[in-house]
Structure 1
Amino acid sequence: MFNYRLPAKNFIAAFDIDAQKTFTPVCPDELPVAEGDKIVPELNAQAKLACLRIASRDAHSPYAKWIATEEHPCLTPLAGYPDLDLYWTKHAIVGTPGFEFIDGLDPEAYAFQSLKGIEPDKHPYGACYHDLGNKYSTGAIEFLRQHGITTVICGGLATDYCVLNTVLQLKDAGFTVILNEAACRGIAPDTTQAALEKMKAAGVILVKNAAALKKMR
């Protein structure tokens, strides 16, 4: 890892994973992650090292089957649908403020965006597939391959769910994957640490911040 050097810029993409207001204190009634709104400078900094920038967004229906209720609280198991595993607080509903990018991120900067969780009976975590079984592509992997990308620098929300799953999907697809820890925030310390360890074990390169990335050129 310490001897790793970034390839030429035209082989690098920056991936902003679910960097949406729904996962920040801006939307306290959705799924706020502590300091989720603080990752923008690091996301913008890592993008300067890449030739293209892509993003993913949760894009949910107000009629989703996974929306938590008093009878079925958030994070309790959900059965009966192959692409749903847990109940979640309503979040990232298309057309609401929670669906929007965090302030400071320019929607026009992205060469590609994958929208996931549009169907009421699906709640994927990774940005590369529409389903939990990683069968139905969002097109992100194909887009990266089409543009000759070999290395993907990732950041976003939250470390222990959507970031973890997206990073592992990209690694399985054959990319060199770098996680910028300062460009992420997690839901809980224990699950965040477990996610970092899982990514590292899978061969993902972990760096502390964009400054450390620059030293790898």
Structure 2
Amino acid sequence: MIVSIDVDAQKTFSPLCPNELPVNEGDTIVAELNAQAALADFRVMTKDAHSPSAKWLVQNPEEMLKPTGLKEADITWVSHAIVGSRGYELLDGLPLAQDYDYCVWKGVDPEFHPYGACYHDISEKLSTGLIEWLQSKGATLIIVGGLATDYCVKSTVLQLLKGGNWKVVVNASACRGIDPETVEAAWNEMYESGAIVLENAQEIDKFIKNQKVNF
């Protein structure tokens, strides 16, 4: 069973919201996300869903990435993905939330700022139910794309690799990252942890067809 996951493919992480956390070319991944989903039996959506009263919020971008002292929100961030805002919305061209097979909303609690989609907390104690849902569906191959490579995509992939007996493929063309240095480190960490990194959905399709295992 093949599952495709769109990780935080939201306007907040794109040039469409320049005052939030714009990722260069973050708005150009929709076609690849849709292409990888066409290879799958199920499609999952994850979204950052933050409160305007989040404890990790700072107004000045220069104050970002500083330690917060909070257990479940390690560093500060400027306002982004506030529920109901334009940045909270999925990128144009993606399905409506109700048209996905499973959805995860992350960081609703003002004291929490998780990165991976499998747990509500950085400590990885409070499950979002994603791993359990994947197990219930008999997932054997999980295809991941989204934003941003060096944070939420990486964390989600690493959690998935630890969470079940399935293969995890990352679609490089469906991902965009924030900083070249941390992006490179993220790709290396995902690969070394067991992820299969392929260039695009076309290459993923070839990979699936070439496997002796019937996904």
Length-normalised TM-score, structure 1? 0.93
RMSD: 1.2
Structure 1 residues 52 and 71: alpha-carbon distance in aligned structure 2, compared to 1, 3 A threshold? closer
Structure 2 Cα separation of the partners of residues 123 and 189 of structure 1: 23
Percent identical pairs in the alignment equals 51
Structure 2 Cα separation of the partners of residues 125 and 199 of structure 1: 15
**8 Å contact 1:84–1:122 — kept in the other structure?**
yes
SS of 1:85's equivalent in the other structure is strand
User: C-alpha offsets along residues 131-186 of structure 1, whole Å, 9 cap, x if unaligned?
Assistant: 00111011111111111112100000000000000000000012310000000000
Structure 2 Cα separation of the partners of residues 189 and 212 of structure 1: 23
Aligned residue number for residue 16 of structure 1 = 6
Gaps of 5+ in 1: 1-10
Aligned residue number for residue 95 of structure 1 = 84
Aligned equivalent of 2:110, options 120, 135, 151? 120
Aligned equivalent of 2:119, options 124, 129, 133? 129
Gaps of 5+ in 2: 210-215
Structure 2 Cα separation of the partners of residues 93 and 213 of structure 1: 33
Structure 1 residues 45 and 121: alpha-carbon distance in aligned structure 2, compared to 1, 3 A threshold? same
**8 Å contact 2:157–2:168 — kept in the other structure?**
yes
Q: Structure 1 segments of 4 or more deviating over 3 A?
A: 69-72
Structure 2 Cα separation of the partners of residues 123 and 83 of structure 1: 6
Aligned equivalent of 1:186, options 177, 184, 197? 177
Aligned residue number for residue 145 of structure 1 = 135
